[in-house]
Amino acid sequence: MQKIFSGVQPSGNIHIGNYLAVIKQWVALQEKSDCIFCIVDWHAITVPYEVKALQQKIKEVASIYLASGINPEKSVIFVQSQVKEHSELAWLLNTITPFGDLQRMTQFKDKSKKLQGNVNAGLFNYPVLMAGDILLYQTDLVPVGEDQKQHVELARTIAKKFNSKFGETFKVPEVSVLKIGAKIMSLTEPLKKMSKSDPEPSRIGLFDTPEQIRKKIGSATTDSDKEIKFNPKEKPGISNLLTIYSLFADKPIKDIEKEFQGKGYASFKSALADLLIKKLEPFRNKKAEFDKNPEFIEKILTDGANRARKIAQETMQKVRTVMNL
């Protein structure tokens, strides 16, 4: 069976971009693959974070995985920092990763700009840790959003370099990025991607209340004319909303354009808010259920870490042998 690895950072409120581009794909993949879904807390601390809230954020990501339909009996769900081999492999891979390759990473440049130069070495080395995450599990396929594609490509380069230097050790993973929905844009600045770390009301969180959803969709940036037409270059705002509608309704964009022909933005936005309120209801309900029973999530994460650690230790044994460590 093909092996899948992917993850989400517990770095804020998980939004519909994270869900539509990635988590939704996982649910279908787990039927036919061996899946490992990680909560990548070591990545989340590469930028300033709220220390006291971190464990709560980790539990929230786990609730989202479960509420989306990830089955913990089939798939492994675990927290990165509970499997120490991730940091060990990252260090070793650092020694074969060219500095220049890391300097070229778009996400590093974007995040450095956001942090106005207040950047730590962890953020710079983030893609090497991510390569370690993927390669530890002999992964075949990594489903990610558009913004993480470059990092998976670097993981491929690192795997090939390691194999040629030390002998066949790692599988070289493929990347999987959706054709539509791989980059959901900000509601307030539709030329930028929706991001957990951007201020509200730029995103819809999976636990947002119906009132918040209606308000944010109502105030989402659109364009000066009134036509509901998909044209990301000229009408980025409405095109982004059409993409979100299409992915939640499982309907082609062309059909939605027809349905709202001549109806104007207000009526389209109201229908989109209704749809999101309905589709996100299970996330709110499940979260309330899990909040009442924290031991349930803790048990799943402990079991998951034990299963993940076993695979990771096997790979590390091979790595130490070929590197003569």
- For 225-248, give one letter per residue: b (16+ CB within 10 A) or e: eeebbbebeebbbbbbbbbbbbbb
Q: Does 127 bind ligand AQP (CB under 6 A)?
A: no
User: Is there a catalytic annotation at residue 233?
Assistant: no
Q: Does 11 bind ligand AQP (CB under 6 A)?
A: yes
By CB under 6 A, name the one of 17, 132, 190, 205 that touches ligand AQP. Answer: 17
By CB under 6 A, name the one of 22, 36, 155, 159 that touches ligand AQP. Answer: 22
Residues 163 to 192: which contact ligand AQP by CB under 6 A?
182-184
CB of 262 to ligand AQP, least distance (A): 30
The nearer residue to ligand AQP, 22 or 105, going by C-beta atoms, is 22
Q: Does 97 bind ligand AQP (CB under 6 A)?
A: no
User: Is there a catalytic annotation at residue 299?
Assistant: no
The nearer residue to ligand AQP, 22 or 154, going by C-beta atoms, is 22
Q: Does 197 bind ligand AQP (CB under 6 A)?
A: yes
CB of 103 to ligand AQP, least distance (A): 18
Asked if residues 114 and 197 have their Cβ atoms less than 8 Å apart, the reply is yes
Catalytic residue among 3, 57, 59, 111: 111
Residues in the chain: 325
Residues whose CB is less than 8 angstroms from the CB of residue 193 and which lie 6 or more positions away in sequence, other chains included: 17, 145, 146, 147, 183, 184, 185, 186
Give CA–CA dist 257/237, Å, rounded. 14
Give CA–CA dist 150/147, Å, rounded. 7
Q: Which two tokens stand for residue 97?
A: 């990763």
User: Is there a catalytic annotation at residue 111?
Assistant: yes
Give CA–CA dist 68/283, Å, rounded. 8
Q: Does 144 bind ligand AQP (CB under 6 A)?
A: yes
Residues 252 to 291: which contact ligand AQP by CB under 6 A?
none
Q: Does 18 bind ligand AQP (CB under 6 A)?
A: yes
Cis peptide before 127 (omega within 30 of 0): no
CB of 175 to ligand AQP, least distance (A): 10
Give CA–CA dist 26/263, Å, rounded. 35
CB of 72 to ligand AQP, least distance (A): 19
CB atoms within 10 A of CB 313: 13
Q: Does 148 bind ligand AQP (CB under 6 A)?
A: yes
Amino acid code (one letter) for 206: L
Catalytic residue among 193, 216, 235, 269: 193
The nearer residue to ligand AQP, 66 or 182, going by C-beta atoms, is 182
- Among the listed ranges 64-72, 78-86, 131-139, 144-152, the one in contact with ligand AQP (CB under 6 A) is 144-152
Give CA–CA dist 58/193, Å, rounded. 23
- Among the listed ranges 71-79, 194-202, 245-253, 280-288, the one in contact with ligand AQP (CB under 6 A) is 194-202
DSSP codes joined into one string, 161-226: HHHHHH-S-S--PEEE--SSSSSPBPSSSTTSB--TTSPTTSS-BTT--HHHHHHHHHT----SS-
Q: Does 216 bind ligand AQP (CB under 6 A)?
A: no
Amino acid code (one letter) for 264: G
Binding residues (CB under 6 A) for ligand AQP: these are 8-9, 11-12, 17-18, 21-22, 144-145, 147-148, 182-184, 193-197
Which residue numbers are catalytic? Answer: 111, 193, 196
